Amino acid sequence: MDRLPIFLKLTNKPCLVVGGGTVAERKVRLLQRTGAKISVLASSVTESLQAQIDLGRITYFPEQYSDAVGAGFWLIIAATDDESLNHRIAMDADVAGRFCNVVDDNAASSFILPAIVDRSPIIVAIGTEGNAPVLAQQLKNRIEAWIPQRIGDLAAQAGRWRDLVKKRFGSLRERRRFWQRFFTGPIAEHLLAGRQVAAEKAMRAELVGEITDDKESQGEAWIVGAGPGDPGLVTLRGQQLIGRADVVLYDRLVSKPILDFARKEAELIPVGKRAGSQEMSQTEINELLVELVREGNRVCRLKGGDPFVFGRGGEEALSLANAGLPFQIVPGISAALGCAAYAGIPLTLRGVSGSVTLATAKLSNDLGPDWPQLLNSGHTLALYMGVGSIADIRRQLKDGGVSPDLPVAIVENGTTSRQRTILSSAACIDDDAKKANIVSPAMIFIGKSVGAAEHLQWFDGQTVNSDVVLDDLHTSHIDYLRLIETG
């Protein structure tokens, strides 16, 4: 270790930044976050620094650097664009016994500024001893994604409760045990979910000893949307909760890399298909969920897409609510949104389509009587679970008087490496789907804006183009581009 990482308290401490350009400005902004008393020495400064000076937030020395300047400051940042001047500042600082950072010059600096993840009061600093700042940035991004958003609130609250805990638990050992329980238990869970009142209630009960070893009070269910397949489409919150669960109940549609977010010790239970082929009924799933939470487990109920879009998440949440058990719901990217994006299908498109319906394949049952007119005038339909009903859909479109040329697309295994997209039309969709041997899971998109997909293929899946698409739609590539540009 070449340098010691320390956290410096700079509140009201005089600090000097030499230089007035954009780099200096960034350093000033960083120092300002600590409440330091900042001076800037430079012959000219950026507009934004000038504004800070005018507001009296920083002191300005509009002069040339001289070696006497640095002595009164706690730390100095040399941020001029003159390398030899920067070195001189560093040497003067060294003689005066002050810490100095020279921007982009690890060797000349007596301290370096790490990449920072700031969830105050939790702060993670990453340094590479000047070897690989870009790697430090990438690590920072990964840590940002991994650490729960409210970890700072959790730490701050623990800090506020320290004295109370000290009074309640006499020995160091008891206190350590308490904090170990605290950070992995329901109080921390409440705080991380933003439930301050529930956390305080649970804490009070814990401190006055009301809490028994009743495991029921510790269990919780998290109903999490896993997105349509690409593991990159799971939300950060979803990923974090998968990683904290004791038990993961997952659907058939949840992909393996997403299950890999779970802890090694977590129990993974497939509930879409049980032991080979027999599916668990929804009632059985609801009961299992309630039972596992009652036993005190933190259960992640992982569902394909979004839990509340044809996901039966509503029924599971109701079972938990009826049993008086705590739960959280984390949305996911539903198949309609994921498949549309990855197949280049704008669900709405300015001037072409201004509304969209998520539905299942029973058009005449599920939609209002005017759906054919809506489709003809630009409405988009995104149909789930329709693979077995494509012939039926074609017939319903025909009977409803929908234009035979209206674009229809099928996206199979959307957002995964096996994605296939069929671009077809209302009249031909049945034949085209048969030719391509489309299987579940697939989304069916119907509507004028679906035609734009022909020009918006970007994902490395397979696209099959029917001849009919767009030919008579009076919407050439140029028209679409114009719409997009002016839209």
Residues noted as catalytic: 251, 273
The sign of the torsion formed by the CA atoms of 296, 301, 306, 311 equals negative
The sign of the torsion formed by the CA atoms of 332, 228, 380, 389 equals negative
Residue 51: C-alpha distances to residues 81, 202, 306 (Å): 22, 48, 47
Among 355, 471, 359, 451, CA closest to 408? 451
Q: How far is the C-alpha of 469 from the C-alpha of 456, rounded, in Å?
A: 14
Give min distance, CB of 439 to ligand SAH, in A: 10
Give min distance, CB of 384 to ligand SAH, in A: 4
Q: Does residue 86 contact residue 107 with C-beta atoms inside 8 Å?
A: no
Q: Return the number of the residue (139 or 385) whose C-beta is nearest ligand SAH.
A: 385
Terminal Cα-to-Cα distance of the chain (whole angstroms): 55
Q: How far is the C-alpha of 218 from the C-alpha of 109, rounded, in Å?
A: 50
Q: Return the number of the residue (239 or 415) whose C-beta is nearest ligand SAH.
A: 415
SS3 call for 455: helix
Q: Does residue 117 contact residue 106 with C-beta atoms inside 8 Å?
A: no
Binding site for ligand SAH (CB under 6 A): 228-229, 253, 303-306, 309-311, 334-335, 339, 384-385, 411, 413-415, 440-443
Residue sitting closest to ligand SAH (CB)? 305
Written as one letter, the residue type at 209 is G
Q: Return the number of the residue (19 or 238) whose C-beta is nearest ligand SAH.
A: 238
Give min distance, CB of 414 to ligand SAH, in A: 3
Strand order in the sheet with 420-425: 356-360, 380-384, 442-446, 407-412, 420-425, 462-465
Q: Does residue 343 contact residue 419 with C-beta atoms inside 8 Å?
A: yes
Q: Return the number of the residue (43 or 440) whose C-beta is nearest ligand SAH.
A: 440
Give min distance, CB of 190 to ligand SAH, in A: 27
- Sequence-ordered list of residues with C-beta below 8 angstroms from that of 351, at least 6 positions apart, any chain: 483, 486, 487
Q: Return the number of the residue (136 or 444) whose C-beta is nearest ligand SAH.
A: 444
- Sequence-ordered list of residues with C-beta below 8 angstroms from that of 293, at least 6 positions apart, any chain: 216, 219, 220, 221, 299, 320, 323, 325, 326, 327
Give min distance, CB of 383 to ligand SAH, in A: 7
Q: How far is the C-alpha of 325 from the C-alpha of 106, rounded, in Å?
A: 54
Instruction: Report the interhelical angle of 429-436 vs 390-399 (nearest 10°).
Output: 170
Give min distance, CB of 372 to ligand SAH, in A: 22
The DSSP annotation for 21-38 comes to SHHHHHHHHHHHTTT-EE
Q: How far is the C-alpha of 159 from the C-alpha of 165, rounded, in Å?
A: 10
Give min distance, CB of 308 to ligand SAH, in A: 8
Give min distance, CB of 341 to ligand SAH, in A: 12
Q: Return the number of the residue (41 or 438) whose C-beta is nearest ligand SAH.
A: 438
